[in-house]
Structure 1
Amino acid sequence: MHDIKLIRDNPQAFDQALINRGKSPLSSDLLAIDERRRQHLTRLQDAQARQNAASKEIGKAKATKDEAKAQSLMAEVAELKAFIQAGEAEERTIEAELEAALAGIPNVPEADVPVGRDEHDNVEIRKVGAPRSFNYAPKQHFELGEALGMMDFETATKVSGARFVFLKGKLARLERALAQFMLDLHTEEHGYTEVNPPFLVNTASAYGTGNLPKFADDLFGTYTSESFRAAFEKALEEHDTGTLPEGMTINVRVGQLIDRKWLIPTAEIPLTNIVREEILDEAKLPFRFTAWTPCFRSEAGSAGRDTRGMIRQHQFAKVEMVSVTTPEQSEAEHQRMTAAAEDVLTRLGLPFRTIVLCTGDMGFSSRKTYDIEVWLPGQDTYREISSCSNCGDFQARRMNARYRPAEGKGTRFVHTLNGSGVAVGRCLIAVMENYQNEDGSITVPEVLRPYMGGLEVISA
């Protein structure tokens, strides 16, 4: 969420930031609503002042027994009262209009973020580790997993549909080992507190991090039995067959069902919302949280992309990091968080590169993002495995999350940051492809062997 006062003071800078993100300038539209709101507030304040003055004049008129004047003033007060009541309702309407307009606008990029249109304009800032040389054509992870009999997409499609997988045996344990390794590393060496959060959140929480209302189609929503039954029966009435067509979903828009919950697309949502509507003590900051969770994404707009394997699924595991800090410390915290994610890959011996995203490729809530891409020999390319973003006070304004400075009066909005530490499923892919052997077996990285009961090689 943006501060309308900052937009009012710097409309050209705000519009240029949106242009850099590939958006249309919006300051004139926002300021028109803001001006209407301010003029309306002035009218209400004037009416309130006149009502107070007229009320005092009634007493004076009655004291001098000027009944005609008293009656006239009483009628005026009644009209003013009705005007104020109606005006307060209109004020709420205008406030809601302005908030809705602001809620759909992405964060403003930091000044040092490279300006660009898409992923082709991102800038590499470092590369760590050299890709391994193979004396044979390296296989992709799904070829390895299926040959081992430990990765089953066919059964998952039967049970749940496309973009799901059954992991079995040692590969299932390897994924669990990766998550445990990451959590231990972040909690024991990087100073994060482990949290086991809810996997369902309410609408206010999804709104607070910027996932709603703009990205409702990217989320999976749930319903109570009564609300779902009503929607289901309505859908049935519209089809002669008496059943829903294969693959049809019942889409109810945000806000129509007050009892709706959302499956988390990332643990960023519950972890960040820990501080929603809170006033924190500066001395206790920064807060650093980490969590392993399943994540659920509809992958709207991803038709035809990464249809084979585990790269892009509706359900996947991720270890998330979230920091809450002061504005003065947020940049240093961003660097620290990115280094923590990189440390996971370094200890696993996986080649990677870190890039800074350009303005046109950044996420909605981010003002600066570092993506870490791991080398996948089966695809002969780097693929994203972590995204570490500094959101500034953008989410804090939506959540009303503040802190009380150690010096000075009042409160300030906190800064929030989030990053993958890292995506567990994609890390499993990277380990399989980088540690594969010519016979199709997979060597277990040394740092994971304690979590695998000492196992060194996964074989069929």
Structure 2
Amino acid sequence: MIDSLLLRKDIELVAKRLADRKFILDCEKFSQLENTRKQLQAATEELQAKRNQLAKSIGMKKGKGEDATSELALSNQINEELKTSSEQLEVLQLQIQQFVMGIPNLPHETVPFGKDETDNVEISRWGDVPSFDFPIKDHVDLGSMYGLDFESATKITGSRFVVLRGSIARLHRALAQFMLDLHSEHHAYEEINVPFIVNADSMRGTGQLPKFEEDLFKVPRKMGGVEEGEAGEARIENFYLIPTAEVPVTNMARDVIFSEEQLPQKYVAHTPCFRSEAGSHGRDVRGMIRQHQFEKVELVQFVKPEDSLTALEELVGHAQAVLEKLEIPYRKVLLCTGDMGFGSAKTYDLEAWIPSQNTYREISSCSTMGDFQARRMQARFKVGQAKPQLIHTLNGSGLAVGRCLVALLENNQQADGSIKIPVALRPYLAGIAVLTP
């Protein structure tokens, strides 16, 4: 979340910067909450001072053997008032926190202004877009010859799921292994295996809650009571299937104070990702572009604030290396203020060429979150004896495995339906150069 001090110091400036990313800040509501908080806090502090003063007076009278009945009665009255005031202040502070947690990150000054994806800025292109002298197939028709099975998945679960069988399952696995090896062996990331189910605190820490709850898959679980054999009724606590490995990996830094020497930290994780895709009905319903369950190799970094933008460029380069080694044409795009994710301060998208759609489609999104997530998680670092500072967190897809499979199939198809395998991937497929139906 953004720093509450910024809101208190210059809420109009914050509102202007947020308006650039199409978020209307309710300045009046925050001001009302803040004014009430100040009044309650002042009243609470005044009651505490009176209580302390009375405590001294009572102690002195008792020490002299004098009657302190009236002071004790007044002290009890003040304690009741203080309890009520403290409870009201606690509720109000929670309301302010919830208000602030619903505010997106402020865009970095280097982010271009824009209303939507049409205002994103293309930075570069790599690779030659292939030309075909035969009618091309999309990945659904190509994949069906290799074991891409949507029918079974629909029967087992429902729409927007897929079963991979035979050679295409092997190709999908090879892509993930290739990405993990490249990032861990050549880009100095530590490979990590994390839980696929997280608690609500983890979702809040990276910004999925409270704003994006409808996009998540919940896993209600009974806690304590009946299930644990304790007295009383069981309570229900919501766990969540991860929408990306960013959530469990980044939350490893929650409530941690790193030493300066421990930074940067770099992690790579391969996980399934689960998204309800609320509000996306009718979009990319054919094939593997938009699924409820897909796999991704995720890159996460924890760095010092002054290294944040340099680390972002490095992280994007690591994702680009995957596409280049797989010989997939792509373009690099800097997102404008109107197209950024909720927690991002600056984002680059990598978009792979998809021949059947005659366009580039997102295959990786790489962002620095600044201290936005770190403030929620209280993830900090310390230089010597100085006061701890918030770290900066970064994340990016390195890459989305399913979309990478789509791009590889379509860009490397041949007239007979066979698929050329990029040289870098062949060692993961026992040296196969061409995949045949």
TM-score bin, normalised by smaller chain: over 0.9
**1:96-175 equivalent positions in 2, closer than 5 A:** 96-146=94-144, 148-175=145-172
Letter paired with 2:283: R
Give the aligned residue type for 1:35. N
For 2:134 and 2:302, the matched residues in 1 are separated by 47
**Secondary structure of the equivalent of 1:224?**
strand
- The alpha carbon displacement at 1:225 in A equals 7.2
TM-fit CA distance, 1:60: 4.2
Counterpart of 1:36 in structure 2: which amino acid? T
Distance in 1, Cα, partners of 2:236 & 2:11: 36
Residues 57, 223 of structure 1: alpha-carbon distance in 2 compared, 3 angstrom cutoff:
closer
CA apart distance, 1:277: 1.1
Q: Which amino acid aligns with 1:30?
A: F
Aligned residue for 1:55? 55
Q: Tell me whether 1:405 sits opposite 2:402 in the alignment.
A: no
Listed as ranges, the matches of 1:354-393 within 5 Å are 354-393=332-371
2:242 aligned with 1:264? yes
Going from structure 1 to structure 2, the CA distance change for 1:225 and 1:361 (only over 3 Å counts) comes to same
Q: What percent of counterpart residues are identical?
A: 47
Q: Is the 8 A contact 1:14 1:27 kept in 2?
A: no
Q: How does 1:252-331 map to 2 (within 5 A)?
A: 258-331=236-309
Q: 1:122·1:358 contact (CA, 8 Å) conserved in 2?
A: yes
Amino acid at match of 1:77: S
Indicate the residue corresponding to 1:209 in structure 2: 206
Residue 100 of structure 1 aligns to a residue whose secondary structure is helix
- Greater shift, 334-343 or 125-134, is seen at 125-134
Distance 1:40 1:401 in 2: 30
Structure 1: where are the runs of 5+ without partners? 228-255
Decide whether the 8 Å contact of 2:223 with 2:237 is kept in 1: no
- Change in CA separation of 1:393 and 1:189 when aligned onto 2, cut-off 3 Å: same
Which TM-score applies when normalising by structure 2? 0.94
Describe the superposition over 1:321-369 as per-residue Cα deviations: whole angstroms up to 9, x where unpaired.
Answer: 0001111111111111011001100111111111111111111111111
From the superposition, tell whether residues 88 and 117 of structure 1 become closer, same or farther in structure 2 (CA, over 3 Å): same
Separation (CA, whole Å) in 2 of partners of 1:143 and 1:24: 45
Q: How far did 1:57 drift?
A: 2.3
Compute the RMSD of aligned alpha carbons: 1.7
Q: 1:257 to 1:377 in 2, by over 3 A?
A: farther
Range 136-145 or range 172-181, more displaced: 136-145
Once the two structures are superposed, the pairs formed by residues 313-352 of structure 1 within 5 Å of their partners are 313-352=291-330
After superposition, the C-alpha distances for 1:356-401 in whole angstroms (9 at most, x for unaligned) are: 1111111111111100000111111000000001111111111111
1: distance between equivalents of 2:366 and 2:235?
33
**Gap change, CA 1:451 and 1:62, over 3 Å in 2:** closer
Count residues with an aligned counterpart: 428
- Contact residue 220 and residue 238 of structure 2 kept, 8 A: yes
Query: What is the CA-CA distance between 1:180 and the residue it aligns to?
Result: 0.6
CA distance in 2, matches of 1:359, 1:94: 32
**Residues of 1 paired with 2:70 and 2:235: CA distance?**
49
Shift of 1:169: 1.2
* Worse overlay, 57-66 or 148-157: 57-66
Tell me the residue number matched to 1:451.
428
1:427 corresponds to which letter in structure 2? C
Q: Would you say the 8 A contact 2:223–2:236 is kept in 1?
A: no
Q: Deviations over 1:80-124 (max 9, x none)?
A: 111111222112101110111111111111112111111111111
Shift of 1:260: 2.0
| Corresponding position of 1:430 | 407
The Cα of 1:66 is off from its aligned counterpart by 6.2
- Answer whether contact 1:368 1:389 (CA < 8 A) is retained: yes
Report deviation, 1:31.
3.0
Which residue matches 2:36? Answer: 36
The residue number in structure 2 matching 1:234 is: none
Q: Which runs of 5 or more residues in structure 2 are unaligned? A: 225-233
Q: TM-score, normalised by structure 1?
A: 0.90
Deviation (angstroms), 1:182: 0.5
What amino acid is the match of 1:95? Answer: Q
Aligned to 1:440: 417
